């Protein structure tokens, strides 16, 4: 079979450390190719080289057998290479067509030929089952739909080779299945796809071949057949076996820690985002929140950390009322928060790791004395946490923006989980983490709850919810549809997630 | 920029941007001189002797260095927090007014009046800047506009004060206050010159500035400038921090005004800030908002000012050289700022949105 992409001996060095070290990568035409590796292995870097965002120090790239130099994304697109990043780059108040037309030249000279583009987009959307309405405004779309807009945009620009960097991290299982349907259709159409993912089930389900990176080096390329197992992939990635199943000890909860009654709040557009939300979390309990993204999860977390005002209801922690308290009070009362948007909220990207690890407690006695920061203690703390959470970086002062996605997430986790919290509000805590780190974080959440903390766990990954939670609440349109026991079935949860109320709803 | 590694290495790192920019400016002006068939060596050596040729000239350079240094340091505190305080002149003026008021009216020994007037000057500047900070924090009023407008208010306030309520009664109607008593003037540290103790105070303030960025308050201000949303998430009161930033920034500008009143003029008169405010902005940026970088940069600009003044009195030397060098430095500084912003923007577009 012909190769759509051949990358030969690609080396990319950042500050003397090789993120890619003589990596070879071959993509067959008309195939779906998985790119695997632990956090910081160099997957994104390799793909950024292919998409023209980085120039490798050495190595050659061939597209359809032709040696090319890709010095910008524009060049990549002209060669038929498209890339969908994990976060989208869409202009929210504009429509789908308008977003796709941005940066394209019109065939009608100075005038926009919106109608023609719209027709073409509609046809393209039909052909690949993207199910998009070109006139819809971006902000009205779900995350999954926005992702499809990015794919449509790449296809419209003539992409024959599509790179998807952790596309399913933000999707619900259903949305992920839809995405895979689209990818299969593209494969049948002769297009080639590169898929980066940490979710091995997905890789096994859809890809034809995998390439595995470890520490910037190629460790293997293999066909994926019906016989391939998760274990095969992990031992390639990590170089050893990883435990997949661990036991959740039986319920042994204590006194009520967090109590939320009839909570209401508005979203950024001023519309009601939380309606009459009531629940409680006991010491030692993990309360999972299932639900499609955008049904009030973000607002719930913000209300519970003082970042968003409530319009009604009350929040009590250990019997103390916290309504209208400042974020500082919530922090001081021991509420840790792993926010959904790590770049905008959770991190100061231009500061070093050490500083990001003390973002919330730099003025406390351990890290500053008489108003001056204690750099020795700050560095020690960073060294300890980097070791404990396996944060891969050149040093404690490496700027967070220079870390790989998974390692950025680990910085937040290390900071929040090491604060001896009373309550942990974890919004998508394992998003973007590799298997090893995911297991570690889940273990850590169980450990903290065993020590008596209450955990509020929000995740798009139902499996994660089922694995960790003692009880499972389902959020739909800002309301709790029901709170189920830990033995709830996926079907039951799925119905509630879709807004269908069932009979046996347990009231908390 | 605060360095967590050694002081010496940190110092070199922090003065480097300023030194490189200045060297570039000299290089380009040397080329320009060559093109206009002047000898660069001759011109630069004249400049050197004009600025440092005698003890009194060196003294003049240091006298000018002090206010520029303190003011630029003040400006840098705000800039670091992404608060664009361009009202240094107004805050300087208010500091001068407060200092003069105390020194003219408080009939106590010098060792009490001088510190009190120092604090008053800080307070005067801080009020002026704090007002802009408050408007920004509460009503999101653009501080570039408010601080600039407050400059005019300050300058008219000064004009009015020295013409009516504070005018020197024995001054034949000349618009200035009466002279400060000898004991309220800063001591001279190099006899035979005007060099007063202000430069030492300024250097101490620079050291404090270095410590400031290693303090938890400095960290807080840094974080708010870096990412307001993250700062909120970390429990920081952003409005309060912005006001505090302006208070510190403007207070330092006020202190520069104090030095001018009790160290140089010994009285209030029109236009007392002599446009140091704009220079201080350039110096703060040239020094890369770093205390040591600012110290070096302000010394350089003071030397240019003094050298320029002296050279105007000489013949046969293109004294517009000074203007050219100054202009080039400004152009390079602005290019650097624009370039870094552009670079960060590009990086943001591609990566901060989660490309990884
Ligand atoms: N702009 C940069 N500057 C410095 N170092 C970088 C930069 N980008 C990436 N790196 C480093 O290169 C290595 C590989 O990063 P990369 O983002 O490719 O990892 P990844 O495989 O995509 O990991 P993840 O699964 O966490 O997203 C990391 O150690 C990272 O710290
Ligand atoms: Mg990545």
**Cβ of A305 and B233 within 8 Å?**
yes
pLDDT digits (tens, 9 = 90+) for A323-358: 889 999 999 999 999 998 888 899 999 999 999 999
Q: What pLDDT is stored for residue A490 in this prediction?
A: 86
Cβ neighbours of B16 (radius 10 Å):
14
In the predicted model, what is the mean pLDDT of residues A478-506? 82
Mean pLDDT of all residues in chain A? 89
What is the per-residue pLDDT for B355?
38
Atom of ligand 1 nearest to the CA of A404: 17
Contacts of residue A240, defined as CB under 8 A and 6 or more positions apart, other chains included, come to none
CA distance B233 to chain A (A): 7
pLDDT the model gives residue A374: 94
Q: Which domains does chain B have, with CATH numbers?
A: 7-346 (1.10.3470)
Q: pLDDT grade, residue A246 (50/70/90)?
A: low
> Region B236-254: what's the mean pLDDT?
97
Sketch out chain A's domains with CATH numbers: 3-238 (3.40.50.300), 256-497 (3.40.50.300)
Write the CB contacts of B95 (distance below 8 Å, at least 6 apart in sequence): B121, B122, B124, B125, B253, B254, B255, B256, B257, B258
| Confidence (pLDDT) at A508 | 45
Q: Spell out which residues of chain B touch residue A327, defining contact as CB-CB under 8 Å.
A: 232-235
Kindly state the tokens that stand for B169. Answer: 């009664």
Q: How far is CA A421 from the centre of its chain?
A: 23
Residue with tokens 């430069």, as numbered in its chain: B199
- DSSP states of B57-77 as a string? HHHHHHHHHHHHHHHHHHHHH
What pLDDT was estimated at residue A307?
94
What kind and span of H or E run contains A83? strand A81-84
Only one residue has tokens 């549809």, namely A481
- On whether the pTM is more than 0.80, the answer is yes
Would the pLDDT of A507 be above 60? no
CB-based contact A45:A392 (threshold 8 Å): no
A113-168 residue pLDDT tens: 788 889 999 999 988 888 888 888 888 787 788 888 999 999 998 899 999 999 98
Q: How far apart are CA B137 and CA B244, in angstroms?
A: 10
* Residue A258 CB-density burial (10 A; 0-12 exposed, 13-18 middle, 19+ buried): buried
Closest by Cβ to B235, choosing from A347, A360, A405:
A360
CB-closest option in A85, A354, A379 to B355:
A85
pLDDT digits (tens, 9 = 90+) for A453-465: 999 999 988 889 9
- Specify the pLDDT at position A252: 63
How many CB contacts within 8 angstroms connect chain A with chain B?
Answer: 102
User: Within a 13 Å sphere around the CA of B187, how many CA atoms are in the beta-carbon half?
Assistant: 5
- Residue A214 CA, ligand 2 centroid: distance in Å: 13
DSSP-derived secondary structure letter, A188: H
Q: Which residue has the tokens 């240019």?
A: B304
Q: Report d(CA B104, CA B165) in Å as an integer.
A: 12
Q: Looking at residue A251, what is its pLDDT?
A: 57
pLDDT of residue B4: 52
B327-350 pLDDT, tens digit per residue, is 999 999 989 888 888 777 665 555
* Closest to A171 (Cα-Cα) out of A198, A144, A151: A144
pLDDT category, B95, cuts 50, 70, 90? Answer: very high
Greatest pairwise CA separation for chain B in angstroms: 73
* Percent helix, strand and coil across chain B, each to the nearest 5: 75, 0, 25
- Mean pLDDT in residue range B2-29: 80
Residues, Cβ < 5 Å to ion ligand 2: A 44, 405; B 356
Residues of chain B with pLDDT > 90: what percent?
73
* pLDDT attached to residue B160: 96
Query: What gap in Å lies between CA A453 and CA A26, rounded to an integer?
Result: 48
Residue numbers in B near A348 (CB within 8 A): 223, 226-227, 230
Q: Contact at 8 Å (CB) between A213 and A220?
A: no
Instruction: Order the strands of the A423-427 sheet from edge to edge.
Output: A335-338, A423-427, A454-458, A286-290, A471-476, A479-485
Q: Is the pLDDT of residue A506 over 70?
A: no
**A339 at interface of B, judged by CB pairs closer than 8 A:** yes
Q: What is the mean pLDDT of residues A395-410?
A: 93
Could you tell me the distance, in angstroms and rounded to a whole number, from the CA of residue A266 to the centre of ligand 1? 37
Which range, of A26-35, A48-57, B205-214, B313-322, averages the lowest pLDDT?
A: B313-322
Compute the nearest-CA separation of A193 from chain B (Å).
Answer: 17
Mean pLDDT of chain B: 90
Per DSSP, the three-state class of A466 is helix
Residue B174 has pLDDT above 60, yes or no: yes
Whether B42 and B50 have beta carbons less than 8 Å apart is answered as no
CA–CA dist B213, A378 (Å, integer): 15
Task: Evaluate: CB of A125 within 6 angstroms of ligand 1.
Answer: no
Give per-residue pLDDT as tens, A184-196.
Answer: 999 999 999 999 9
What is the distance between the alpha carbons of residues B134 and A292, in angstroms, rounded to a whole number? 41
Q: Is the pLDDT of residue B171 over 80?
A: yes
| Phi/psi of residue B52, nearest 5 degrees | -125, 10
Instruction: Please say if the pLDDT value at position B196 is more than 60.
Output: yes
Question: Residue B356: what pLDDT?
Answer: 41
What is the structure's pLDDT at B323? 86
Q: Which of residues 373-392 of A touch B (CB under 8 A)?
A: 373, 375, 378-379
Alpha helices in B81-167 (DSSP H): 88-105, 110-139, 143-163
Closest CA to B254 of B90, B134, B143: B90
Q: Give the integer Cα–Cα distance in Å for A371 and A369.
A: 5
Does B274 have pLDDT greater than 60?
yes
**Which tokens in the block code for residue B70?**
């303190």
**Interval A397-412 mean pLDDT:** 93
The tally of CA atoms less than 13 A away on the side-chain side of residue A497 is 23
d(CA B273, CA A272): 54
Q: What is the pLDDT of residue A244?
A: 56
Per-residue model confidence as pLDDT tens digits over A172-229: 788 889 899 999 999 999 999 999 999 988 899 999 999 999 999 999 899 998 888 8
Question: Helices B55-80 and B216-226 meet at what angle, rounded to 10?
Answer: 60
User: To 10 degrees, what angle do helices B143-163 and B110-139 make?
Assistant: 140
What's the gap between Cα B157 and its chain centre? 21
User: Residue A240's pLDDT band (boundaries 50, 70, 90)?
Assistant: low
Q: Which residues face B79 on adjacent strands?
A: none
Any atom of ligand 1 within 6 Å of the Cβ of A436: no
Q: Where are the extended beta strands (E) located within A129-186?
A: 161-165
> How far are the Cα atoms of A265, A351, B97, B128, B158 from residue B152, in angstroms, in the given order?
45, 38, 15, 12, 10
How many angstroms away from the CA of B6 is the closest CA of chain A?
11
The confidence score (pLDDT) of residue B353 equals 36
Q: What is the average pLDDT across B106-113?
A: 94
């Amino acid at each position: 079979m012909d190769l759509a992409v051949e990358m030969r001996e690609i080396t990319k060095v950042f500050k003397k450390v090789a993120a890619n070290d003589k990596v070879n990568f071959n993509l067959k035409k008309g195939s779906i190719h998985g790119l695997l590796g632990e956090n910081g292995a160099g997957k994104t870097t390799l793909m950024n080289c292919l998409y023209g965002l980085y120039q490798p120090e050495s190595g050659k790239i061939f597209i359809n057998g032709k040696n090319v130099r890709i010095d910008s994304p524009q060049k990549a697109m002209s060669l038929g290479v498209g890339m969908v990043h994990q976060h989208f780059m869409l202009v929210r108040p504009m429509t789908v067509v308008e977003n796709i037309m941005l940066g394209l030249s019109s065939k009608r000279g100075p005038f926009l030929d919106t109608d023609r583009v719209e027709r073409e987009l509609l046809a393209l959307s039909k052909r690949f089952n993207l199910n998009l309405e070109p006139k819809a405004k971006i902000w009205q779309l779900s995350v999954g739909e926005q992702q499809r807009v990015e794919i449509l945009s790449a296809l419209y620009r003539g992409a024959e080779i599509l790179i998807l960097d952790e596309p399913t991290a933000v999707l619900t299982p259903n949305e992920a299945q839809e995405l895979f349907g689209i990818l299969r259709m593209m494969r049948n159409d002769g297009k080639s796809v590169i898929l980066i993912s940490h979710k091995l089930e997905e890789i096994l389900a859809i890809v034809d071949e995998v390439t595995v990176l470890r520490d910037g080096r190629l460790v293997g390329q293999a066909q994926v057949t019906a016989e391939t197992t998760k274990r095969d992939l992990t031992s390639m990635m990590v170089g050893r076996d990883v435990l997949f199943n661990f036991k959740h000890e039986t319920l042994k909860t204590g006194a009520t820690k967090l109590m939320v009654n009839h909570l209401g709040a508005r979203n950024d557009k001023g519309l009601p985002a939380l309606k009459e939300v009531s629940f409680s979390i006991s010491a030692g309990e993990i309360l999972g929140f299932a639900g499609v993204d955008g049904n009030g999860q973000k607002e719930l977390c913000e209300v519970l950390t003082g970042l968003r005002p409530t319009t009604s209801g009350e929040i009590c922690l250990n019997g103390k009322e916290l309504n209208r308290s400042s974020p500082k009070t919530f922090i001081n009362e021991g509420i840790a928060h792993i926010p959904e948007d790590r770049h905008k909220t959770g991190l100061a990207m231009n500061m070093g790791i050490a500083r990001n690890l003390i973002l919330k407690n730099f003025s406390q006695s351990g890290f500053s004395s008489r108003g001056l920061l204690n750099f020795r203690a700050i560095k020690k703390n960073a060294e300890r946490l980097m070791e404990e959470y396996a944060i891969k970086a050149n040093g404690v002062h490496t700027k967070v923006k220079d870390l790989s996605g998974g390692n950025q997430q680990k910085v937040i986790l290390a900071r929040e989980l090491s604060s001896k919290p009373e309550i942990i509000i974890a919004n998508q805590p394992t998003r973007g983490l590799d298997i090893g780190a995911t297991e570690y974080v889940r273990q850590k959440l169980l450990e903290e709850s065993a020590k008596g903390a209450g955990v509020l766990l929000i995740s798009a990954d139902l499996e994660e919810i089922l694995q960790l939670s003692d009880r499972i609440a389902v959020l739909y349109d800002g309301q709790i549809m029901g709170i189920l026991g830990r033995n709830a079935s996926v079907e039951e949860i799925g119905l509630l997630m879709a807004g269908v109320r069932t009979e046996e709803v347990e009231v908390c | 920029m605060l360095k967590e590694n050694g002081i010496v290495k940190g110092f070199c790192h922090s003065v480097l941007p300023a030194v490189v920019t200045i060297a570039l400016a000299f290089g380009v002006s040397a080329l320009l001189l060559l093109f206009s068939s002047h000898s660069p060596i001759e011109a630069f050596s004249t400049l050197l002797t004009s600025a440092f040729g005698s003890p009194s000239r060196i003294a003049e350079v240091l006298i000018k260095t002090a206010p520029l240094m303190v003011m630029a340091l003040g400006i840098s505190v705000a800039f670091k927090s992404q608060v664009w305080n361009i009202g240094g002149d107004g805050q300087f003026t208010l500091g001068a007014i407060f200092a003069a008021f105390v020194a003219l009216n408080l009939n106590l020994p010098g060792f009490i009046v001088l510190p009190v007037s120092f604090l008053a000057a800080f307070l005067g500047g801080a009020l002026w800047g704090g007002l802009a900070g408050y408007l920004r924090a509460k009503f999101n009023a653009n501080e570039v506009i408010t601080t600039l407008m407050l400059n005019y208010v300050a300058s008219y306030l000064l004009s009015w004060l020295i013409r009516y309520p504070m005018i020197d009664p024995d001054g034949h109607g000349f618009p200035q206050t009466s002279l400060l008593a000898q004991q309220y003037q800063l001591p001279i540290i190099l006899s035979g010159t005007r060099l007063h103790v202000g430069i030492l105070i300024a250097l101490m303030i620079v050291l404090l500035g270095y410590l400031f960025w290693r303090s938890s308050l400095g960290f807080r201000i840094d974080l708010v400038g870096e990412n307001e949303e993250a700062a909120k998430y970390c429990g920081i009161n952003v409005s309060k921090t912005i006001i505090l930033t302006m208070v510190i920034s403007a207070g330092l500008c006020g202190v520069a005004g104090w030095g001018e009143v009790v160290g140089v003029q010994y009285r209030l008169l029109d236009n007392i800030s002599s446009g140091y405010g704009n220079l201080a902005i350039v110096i703060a940026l040239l020094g890369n908002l770093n205390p040591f970088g600012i110290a070096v940069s302000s010394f350089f600009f003071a030397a240019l000012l003094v050298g320029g003044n002296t050279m105007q009195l000489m013949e046969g030397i293109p004294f517009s050289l000074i203007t050219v060098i100054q202009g080039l430095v400004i152009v390079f500084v602005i290019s650097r700022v624009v370039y870094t912003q552009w670079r960060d923007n590009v990086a943001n577009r591609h990566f901060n949105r989660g490309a990884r």
